[in-house]
């Protein structure tokens, strides 16, 4: 029988605060008693008893034993509080899951990220996530509010502006790296617009990702009335927002029970008006927004004036958006986590430095292409090089070099590649589990180089909070010079930003609106 929490989310927060307060009180009480004992010991040592008494250890030893016991208690209390903070990533994660065994990665991952989070999440982000969890618990799938809204959607009944719950429905679409980045994008949009994120499980999402929210699911139930339409949603759909704008079908009197948002790389100028504040006014009143996207569109959301203050409070450092949201949302299932842990322990754990190299070949002609070697800094005792690629050629070349020739510094270099699937197999479950495991393994490295334009690489360096080197894509089978410059940001790229200035109502170069490192 499933154990249910009896506390509402806000009381959960108060309970967590109370537990923290109790830990602090215990620390101060123990410290006070310890100081008292030390004071007593100092008196005894300053004015020692007679020789007869000194020959009897019972006069002083019990005080020292008590002092040592109390010091041990203080140390253990401090260590347990610190471990709990690390486990919860500085408060980013909620401590409200009944059975941690169902998702081992959620709290174990902190042990494998040696540098932890790139920086601390803002207190406002932590507070906002706790409020969102309460909202999701109230409005998420299988709740009374959700069932009521779905029934209205099924019957065609008219919704009112005061609908208790509104939703962003993320439709499973494109490759795994794209899906991960767009999940984070959709969640941020839901957070900013006070909506609940519901995830289409597609063919394998349940096998890849744990539930991120306590006491509620984010996966869309199979009986959702519009499930059969997901594959057919396109720019030509009557409910597509871009088409509605093009046909001037959006007015103050327009009532829509749902709208389809097409934010894929082939979207047109009318679809891109989604990123204009004035167009958001209509969307605020639509209960269901169905979103299909293969773009990490967070950088353009950062440009929207209506969200500016909220985003500044959530993310004072805009480089950390995906890093925090990814570590909060994306926890590998136990099957995937097993792949990660077994490989890490077998090949990477004992190395002094872990180097990750991810190579994605977009050219249709056979590779591999020759890339220049770069000199490493420092002289670690041992180095593990983790290579990921659909092709085994790069791994074999690098492995053979370190096998056939010694390093100048005499260091030991091991080169490893978990898999080489040959080609991308998006709909194959085990292929995607391996891909997710390899992204996660790359994120656990100390130094990382990934291919440009590869969402696989973006996920790895974003989760790890790493500023990486980018392997530029060869042109005409020629490697660029330099081949591997430093990235400007650890944020993923927005591959297809709108070249449109909402205020000026004209096309514009996006770099004029925001520093290029944000894109």
Asked, as a colleague might, if the bond just before 368 is cis with ω within 30 of 0, I would say yes
Q: Strand, coil or helix: what is 200?
A: coil
pLDDT band with cut points at 50, 70 and 90 for residue 115: confident
Residues 219-236, mean pLDDT to the nearest whole number: 95
H-run or E-run covering 2: none
Calculate Rg over the CA atoms of the chain: 28
Q: Is 179 left (phi over 0), alpha (psi -120 to 50) or beta?
A: alpha
CATH numeric code, 334-369+381-471 = 3.40.50.11350
Q: How far apart are CA 47 and CA 42, in angstroms?
A: 9
Q: Kindly tell me if the per-residue pLDDT of 414 is higher than 80.
A: yes
The domain ranges of the chain are 123-329, 334-369+381-471
Q: What would the pLDDT profile of 356-409 be if each residue is shown by its tens digit?
A: 999 876 555 555 555 454 444 555 679 999 999 878 778 888 888 888 888 888
Q: What would the pLDDT profile of 236-265 be if each residue is shown by its tens digit?
A: 999 999 999 999 998 877 778 999 999 999
Q: Strand, coil or helix: what is 354?
A: strand
Within a 10 A sphere around the Cβ of 372, how many other Cβ atoms?
Answer: 9
Of 165 and 39, the one with more pLDDT: 165
Q: What is the pLDDT of residue 265?
A: 92
Instruction: Give the mean pLDDT of the chain.
Output: 80
Contact 396, 359 (CB under 8 A): no
Q: What is the pLDDT of residue 24?
A: 46
Quick one: which of 95, 92, 84, 81 has its CA closest to 122?
A: 92
Residues 138-164, mean pLDDT to the nearest whole number: 84
Of 436 and 452, the one with more pLDDT: 436
Q: What is the pLDDT of residue 73?
A: 46
DSSP class of residue 348? I
Q: What would the pLDDT profile of 302-332 be if each residue is shown by its tens digit?
A: 989 999 999 999 999 999 999 999 999 999 9
Burial class (CB in 10 A: 0-12, 13-18, 19+), 436: buried
Contact 356, 451 (CB under 8 A): no
Contact 480, 499 (CB under 8 A): no
Q: What would the pLDDT profile of 202-218 be if each residue is shown by its tens digit?
A: 999 999 999 999 999 99
Q: How far apart are CA 472 and CA 481, in angstroms?
A: 9
Listed in order, strand segments (DSSP E) in 8-58 are: none
Residues 498-503, mean pLDDT to the nearest whole number: 78
Asked, as a colleague might, if the bond just before 482 is cis with ω within 30 of 0, I would say yes
């Amino acid at each position: 029988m499933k154990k249910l929490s009896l506390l509402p989310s806000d009381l959960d927060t108060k309970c967590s605060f109370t537990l923290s307060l109790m830990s602090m009180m215990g620390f101060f009480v123990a410290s006070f008693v310890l100081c008292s004992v030390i004071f007593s010991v100092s008196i005894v040592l300053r004015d020692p008893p007679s020789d007869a008494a000194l020959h009897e250890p019972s006069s002083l030893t019990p005080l020292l034993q008590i002092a040592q016991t109390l010091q041990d208690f203080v140390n253990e209390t401090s260590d347990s509080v610190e471990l709990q903070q690390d486990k919860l990533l500085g408060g980013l994660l909620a401590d409200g899951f009944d059975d941690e065994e169902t998702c081992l990665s959620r709290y174990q991952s902190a042990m494998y990220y040696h540098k932890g989070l790139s920086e601390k999440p803002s207190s406002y982000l932590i507070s906002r996530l706790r409020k969102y969890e309460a909202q999701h618990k109230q409005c998420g799938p299988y709740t009374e509010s959700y069932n009521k809204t779905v029934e209205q959607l099924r019957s065609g009944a008219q919704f009112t502006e005061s609908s208790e719950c509104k939703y962003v429905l993320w439709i499973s679409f494109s490759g795994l790296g794209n899906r991960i980045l767009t999940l984070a994008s959709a969640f941020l949009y839901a957070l900013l617009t006070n909506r609940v994120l519901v995830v289409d499980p597609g063919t394998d999402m349940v096998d890849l990702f744990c539930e991120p929210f306590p006491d509620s699911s984010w996966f869309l139930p199979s009986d959702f009335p519009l499930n059969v339409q997901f594959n057919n949603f396109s720019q030509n759909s009557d409910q597509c927002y871009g088409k509605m704008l093009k046909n001037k079908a959006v007015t103050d009197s327009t009532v829509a029970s749902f709208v389809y948002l097409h934010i894929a790389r082939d979207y047109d100028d009318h679809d891109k008006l989604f990123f204009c504040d004035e167009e958001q006014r209509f969307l605020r009143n639509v209960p269901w927004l169905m979103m299909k996207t293969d773009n990490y569109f967070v950088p353009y959301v950062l440009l929207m004036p209506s969200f500016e203050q909220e985003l500044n409070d959530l993310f004072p450092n805009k480089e950390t958006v995906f890093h925090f949201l990814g570590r909060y949302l994306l926890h590998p299932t136990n099957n995937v986590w097993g792949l990660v842990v077994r490989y890490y322990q077998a090949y990477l754990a004992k190395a002094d430095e872990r180097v990750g190299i991810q190579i994605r070949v977009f050219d249709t002609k056979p590779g591999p292409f020759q890339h220049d070697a770069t000199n490493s800094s420092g002289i670690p005792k041992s180095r593990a090089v983790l290579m990921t690629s659909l092709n085994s050629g790069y791994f074999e070349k690098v492995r053979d070099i370190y096998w056939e020739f010694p390093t100048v510094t005499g260091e030991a270099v091991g080169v490893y590649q978990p898999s080489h699937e040959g080609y991308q197999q998006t709909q194959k479950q085990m292929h995607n589990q391996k891909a997710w495991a390899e992204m996660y393994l790359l994120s656990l490295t100390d130094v990382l180089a990934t291919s440009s334009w590869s969402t696989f690489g973006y996920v790895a360096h974003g989760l790890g909070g790493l500023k990486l080197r980018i392997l530029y894509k060869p042109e005409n089978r020629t490697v660029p010079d330099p081949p591997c410059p430093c990235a400007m940001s650890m944020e993923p790229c927005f591959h297809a930003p709108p070249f449109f200035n909402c205020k000026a109502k004209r096309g514009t170069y996006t770099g004029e609106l925001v520093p290029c490192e944000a894109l």
